[in-house]
Structure 1
């Protein structure tokens, strides 16, 4: 299972769902947690503050986002592998899932309606469209 994490309450809901599902299985599932940070306008940002500062920012923000899911998994005693990347979230998550032979991607729903999806776009919607791995959208409760 791969939890696609953005660090929000929706990530917490997805992680809790994975914990509940893991309790139903006979053996402990292999759990991955991934966060993809949208890239800053890199050349401009790096020229102003430096490449290391931009890289440190991506790392710090990604670790913060991952921690939301990691806390839930740790409370349940589940082992996991975490990773982060920068780029197009849906593309990176789909590629990671395919490369790691993930059975299902679990992500939270931000509750956007059809009009909001049209106006804003949606990582979850794109992920469903491009992933070769099933995607499970968990609502926040």
Structure 2
């Protein structure tokens, strides 16, 4: 099974990884995991003043800060893990990655905002659910 793990380095990501790690009966170690992080894009106005190579390096650095500890945890757990990164709107890119790379399941940490909070602030989780045809397992 191909399992996509959207990660952002937050406590919700850490909880999601710990949950999977302590509940081997849920998913186990026999699957192929992809840790996927999305870095917020700089505004186009700011980005136009930067050399494209510098901007690419910035996005890679930001992504690597999130992905390094996830890779280390996956290695401790014995998971087959690869990583992927993008920059832009997180929900859209997560759903797109899942579709384009034939992922069987998305497992992601959820913040657990109230319904009112989600209406006002929006939510990456809600955005993924709205755009995705792949099953999504939310860990709170």
Indicate the TM-score class for this superposition, using the shorter chain for normalisation: 0.7 to 0.9
SS at match of 2:91: helix
CA contact (8 A) 1:12 1:72 kept: no
Render the CA deviation track for 1:43-95: whole Å, top value 9, x for unaligned: x2233343333222211111111223222211112121100001111111111
Residues in 2 aligned to 1:136 and 1:27: alpha-carbon distance in whole angstroms: 17
Aligned twin of 2:126: 125
SS at match of 1:48: coil
Residues in 2 aligned to 1:28 and 1:74: alpha-carbon distance in whole angstroms: 13
Aligned twin of 2:107: 106
Residues in 2 aligned to 1:37 and 1:131: alpha-carbon distance in whole angstroms: 20
Residues in 1 aligned to 2:66 and 2:116: alpha-carbon distance in whole angstroms: 27
Give matches, 1:1-141, under 5 Å.
1-21=3-23, 23-24=24-25, 28-42=30-44, 44-139=45-140
CA contact (8 A) 1:46 1:53 kept: no
Mark the CA change 1:102 to 1:109 in structure 2 (over 3 Å): closer, same or farther: same
Give the helix-richer structure, 1 or 2.
1
Question: Structure 2: which 5+ residue stretches go unaligned?
Answer: none
Aligned residues: 137
Output the aligned Cα RMSD: 1.8
Residues in 2 aligned to 1:138 and 1:26: alpha-carbon distance in whole angstroms: 16
SS at match of 2:32: coil
Residues in 2 aligned to 1:69 and 1:40: alpha-carbon distance in whole angstroms: 24
Question: Structure 1: which 5+ residue stretches go unaligned?
Answer: none
CA contact (8 A) 2:29 2:79 kept: no
CA contact (8 A) 1:109 1:138 kept: yes
- Deviation (angstroms), 1:27: 6.5
